[in-house]
Structure 1
Amino acid sequence: MSNGIKWLFFIALVLCLQMAASVPARAAGKPLVVGMELAYPPFEMTDASGKPDGVSVQLAYELGKALGRPVEIKNMAFDGLIPALKTGKIDLIISSMTATAERAKSIDFSDPYLSTGLCLLVNKKVPGSTIADFDQPGRAIAVKKGTTGHLYASNNLKKAKVLVLDKEAAAVLEVVQGKADAFIYDQMSTYQNFQRNRETTRPILKPFQTESWAIGLRKGNDELKAKVNRFLFEFRKTGGFGKLGDRYLKEEKDAFKQLGYPFFL
C-alpha cells in the first residue's frame, strides 16, 4: 500500500471515529420540547422582554439540566396541549395540569408535584359561601375551557348556567362586571385575581375538590417517565420547589399562612 493510500485510509478512519463519537453527544443534546400555555402567572408566563418565565418554566429548565438536554418551550392553548403531546409535537406537558382519570386515558402522568384545589372567585355583591349556594337557578358560573373547573361544572352543576370561556382573564371579567356570579378555578389563581379586583370580588378559598398537578407524557414512554419521577424526587429533596415558591409566590405563601390554608408548592 502506497504512502498516499495509507494517508487517505488514515483520514477516512479518523473521520469515521469522529462521526461515531458524535452520535451519542447529539442524542444527549436533543432538545426537550415542553408544551405550556404562557398565560397563567406566576406559573406559566413571559417576562418583560417576552421570554418564557414562571414556576413551570424554571421547573422545565431544571429538568432539562438533569436530563442533559436543552429545553425548548412551546407556547400553545391549554386545550391543545394533549393533542400536541399525542402527535409528537411536544415531549412533555408542564402547564399546571391536573392529573385526572379522564386525561390518564390518553396520556401518562408523572408523580404529582403540587397539590391544590378548586374554589371560587365570586362577585362581591352576591351572597353565598359554598359551591352548592351558587348552583342555583338564576345563577351563572364561569369556567375556563378545558380545565378541571370546566369538567367539574359539566359533571356536577345541575341548576346554574355555565359560561365556558377561552381565557382566564375573560372569566374574571365576567365576575367583575356581574355577568357571572362566580368563577371556578384553583386556589392560588383565585387569590391572585381577588388581589387585582378587591373592590368587586371576594375569594372563597376553601377547596370543594382537591387536585394534584403532574407532568404529562406520551403513553408508553416509560424510560422518560422514570427519569422525570427521579428528578422530581431529587428536586424536592434538595429544596428546589421551596426556592421556586420563595422566588415567585412569596406574598401568596405568607397570605395563605395567615389565612390558615396550607401552601401547596
Structure 2
Amino acid sequence: MNRRNLLATVSAAAFALVIGLPMLGGSNAMADTLADIQQRGKIRIAVDLGSPPFGMTDAQMQPTGSDIESARLVAEALGVELELVQVTGPNRVPALLTGQADIVMASFSVNAERKKVIDFTDAYGVIQIVVAAGSGAGANATKPEDLNGVQVGTTRGSTNDLEATAKLPGAQLTRYDDDATLVTALVSGQVDVMASSPQIMTAVNQRRAADPLTVKIVLKTNPYAIGLRKGEDALKAKLNAVIAENLKNGKLSEIYNRYTGVPLPAILPKT
C-alpha cells in the first residue's frame, strides 16, 4: 500500500470513529510522544488559520490568534521549538491519528463522539452560544420565553442555529448563510437580536456603537481543550500542568480576552 492510500485509509477510519462507526483492526498502543517531542526539540501543533479570532493570519500573512498565542505558551513551557501544522475543522482528528501533528490546538470543542477517538486535556478556553440584543426587541429578555415572537438572527446550519432551534422554540429565527452576513444584518438593523458567539457580538459592536448589543441569555458554554492521541498519559499530565499554571498566572486569560473581546470565565467547564 503506498503512502497516499495509507493516509486515505487512516483518515477514513478516523472519520468513521468520529461519527460513531466501528473500525476494524487497529491498536491503542502509542509511542511516548512527550519523549519524542523532547528528543527532537520541537512540538508540532495543529492549528486552524481559518477560524478567527482563534486562528487566522495578520496583515503580513503571519499566523495569529488566541490559539496561536496559546500554542506558543505550550512550546515555551516545554522548552522546545514550535512548528505549526495547518489544518481545517474536518481534518483535526486525522492529523493526530496519521501522526502529522503531536497535538491539536484549534478551538477544539470537547464532545462525547470525539472522546471515543482521541483524548483531551483540561479546558483552556470556551466557546459560548449567547442571545444578545440592543435597546429594541429583546432588550429585556432574561429567559427563552421572553423571545417568543421576536426575530432572532443566527448562522444557518451552525451549532448556534441548532441550539437556538432547540432552546428558543417561540422565536422567529432568521438564518443567514454565514457569520459575515449575520454581522451585516445586525449592523444595518435588519435584525436586532442574535443567537451566536460573544465574538460575533464584539464584531457587530465595532460597527454599531450607537446601539451596542449586550448578552441577555447564555444558551450553552462549550469548553475547548488540547486534543491528543489516546494513551499519552505523560504528555497529557504535562499539558494539564502547563494549562493550570497559565490559568493561574493569567496568561491564558489575557490572550483570550485580547483576541475574543470577552473575559474568560473564572471557572472553566470540565472536559
TM-score (norm 2): 0.64
Which consecutive unaligned segments of at least 5 residues does structure 2 have?
1-34
Matched, 1:54 2:68: no
Q: Residues 147-167 of structure 1: CA distance to partner in whole angstroms, max 9, x if unpaired?
A: 4x24423543445446364x4
In structure 1, the residue matched to 2:102 is 91
Q: Residues 41-95 of structure 1: CA distance to partner in whole angstroms, max 9, x if unpaired?
A: 2x43322311112322111012112234432334444455345445544433323
8 A Cα contact 2:126 2:221, kept in partner: yes
Residues 69 and 105 of structure 1, relative CA distance in 2, 3 Å threshold: same
Classify the secondary structure of the residue corresponding to 1:110.
Answer: strand
Equivalent residue letter for 1:212: P
Q: What do you get for the CA RMSD once the two structures are aligned?
A: 4.0
Which consecutive unaligned segments of at least 5 residues does structure 1 have?
1-22
In structure 2, the residue matched to 1:183 is 194
Aligned mates of 1:216, 1:144 — CA distance in 2 = 27
Aligned ranges 1:1-265 → 2 under 5 Å? 27-41=39-53, 43-115=54-126, 117-122=128-133, 125-128=136-139, 129-130=141-142, 132=144, 136=148, 139-143=151-155, 147=159, 149-153=160-164, 155-159=166-170, 160-161=172-173, 163=175, 165=177, 167-177=178-188, 182-199=193-210, 202-244=213-255, 248=258, 252=261
Cα deviation for residue 218 of structure 1 reads: 3.1
Q: Residues 81-129 of structure 1: CA distance to partner in whole angstroms, max 9, x if unpaired?
A: 3454455444333233433345434432211223563212447654452
Residues 27 and 209 of structure 1, relative CA distance in 2, 3 Å threshold: same
Residue-pair matches, total = 232
Residues 91 and 184 of structure 1, relative CA distance in 2, 3 Å threshold: farther
Aligned mates of 2:38, 2:259 — CA distance in 1 = 37
Equivalent residue letter for 2:204: N
Q: Residues 1-45 of structure 1: CA distance to partner in whole angstroms, max 9, x if unpaired?
A: xxxxxxxxxxxxxxxxxxxxxx9798423441322244422x433
Which one has the largest radius of gyration? 1
Deviating runs (4+, > 6 A) in structure 1?
Answer: 23-26, 261-265
Identity of aligned residues (%): 27
Residues 158 and 237 of structure 1, relative CA distance in 2, 3 Å threshold: closer
Classify the secondary structure of the residue corresponding to 2:236.
Answer: helix
Cα deviation for residue 245 of structure 1 reads: 5.7
The structure with higher relative contact order (CA 8 Å, sep 6+) is: 2
TM-score (norm 1): 0.65
8 A Cα contact 1:145 1:164, kept in partner: no
Residues 140 and 242 of structure 1, relative CA distance in 2, 3 Å threshold: closer
Cα deviation for residue 183 of structure 1 reads: 3.1
